[in-house]
Amino acid sequence: MVEHLATSAFSGYPVSEVSPFIGGSVRVKASALIFLNAALLLTACAGSDHLISSGDRYVAGADISETYALGAGDKVRMTVFSEPTLSGEFSVSTDGELSLPLIGNVAVANMTLSQVTGQVQSLLADGYLRNPRVSMEIISYRPFFVLGEVKAPGQYAYASGMTALNAVATAEGYTPRASKKIIYIRRFGEKVEQAYELTPNLRVMPGDTLRIGERYF
């Protein structure tokens, strides 16, 4: 009888419907197990919440030069062969444009360096130069930002190959309350931050906003 009623409790019947002939301890244990199962399900959902791996794109050492998309704050050096007056260093404006000799403002936001080079060559060839040859290189990237539980939150110059741990060190390290296992990053151009495991090879990209959260004691 006890075995039958205990089984019924796990078959969907409320604990209050268990026969009064069963001792109170059986009812308490059945109720506690149901509560524990529910708690474990909630924990499992929370554990897989937003923590994501870095992926190949955000691993230190991966080459970003070919796929890097230009944006406001980036600075490039343009060389037009045999045309020194057209060559120089130019910064991408807040409107995502380069202001270049002869051809004026050129929209470059979200374009790779090779795409911009091709576009500039085409514009120069359209009534300005015969068979222009143009090369471009990035000489400085847009800054990144470190917020939260670091000693010196703020804006910092990006260095090629920078990792999340490098970024924290640049901001003078953690505060005593900082969580050192998880970092929140809003990638440039995205609206929502993601939680990453703070590993040694997690890469920071130009324009990223990093946030170190507070640990819970």
d(CA 51, CA 41): 17
Same domain, 126 and 167: no
Q: What range defines the domain where residue 36 resides? A: 2-47
Q: Are 9 and 15 in contact (CB under 8 A)?
A: yes
Question: Do residues 157 and 194 share a domain?
Answer: yes
SS3 104: strand
Alpha-carbon separation of residue 176 from 65, 152, 168, 194 (angstroms): 37, 13, 13, 23
| CATH code, domain carrying 208 | 3.10.560.10
Backbone angles phi, psi at 183, to 5 degrees: -130, 140
Residues 156 and 205 in one domain: yes
Same domain, 99 and 114: yes
Same domain? For 42 and 14 the reply is: yes
What token pair was written down for 22? 């069963």
Same-domain pairing of 105 and 151 = no
Asked if residue 155 and residue 208 are part of one domain, the reply reads yes
The pLDDT tens digits along the chain (217 residues) read 444 434 433 344 343 343 333 344 444 444 443 443 444 334 333 333 456 655 555 555 556 667 899 999 999 999 999 999 999 999 999 999 999 999 999 999 999 999 999 999 999 999 999 999 999 999 999 999 999 999 999 999 999 889 999 999 999 999 999 999 999 999 998 999 999 999 999 999 999 999 999 988 6
Contacting residues for 83 by C-beta, under 8 A, at least 6 apart: 129, 132
Triad 173, 186, 93: Cα angle to 5°: 100
Residues 87 and 133 in one domain: yes
CA-CA distances (angstroms) from residue 31 to 1, 34, 215? 18, 5, 33
68 lies in a domain? no
- What pLDDT is stored for residue 116 in this prediction? 98
55/162 same-domain check = yes
pLDDT at 50: 56
Residue 167, Cα to own-chain centre: how many angstroms? 13
pLDDT of residue 61: 54
Task: Please tell me whether residues 90 and 58 are part of one structural domain.
Answer: no
Q: How many CA atoms lie within 13 A of 40 on its CB side?
A: 6
Same-domain pairing of 150 and 167: yes
Supply the pLDDT for residue 124: 98
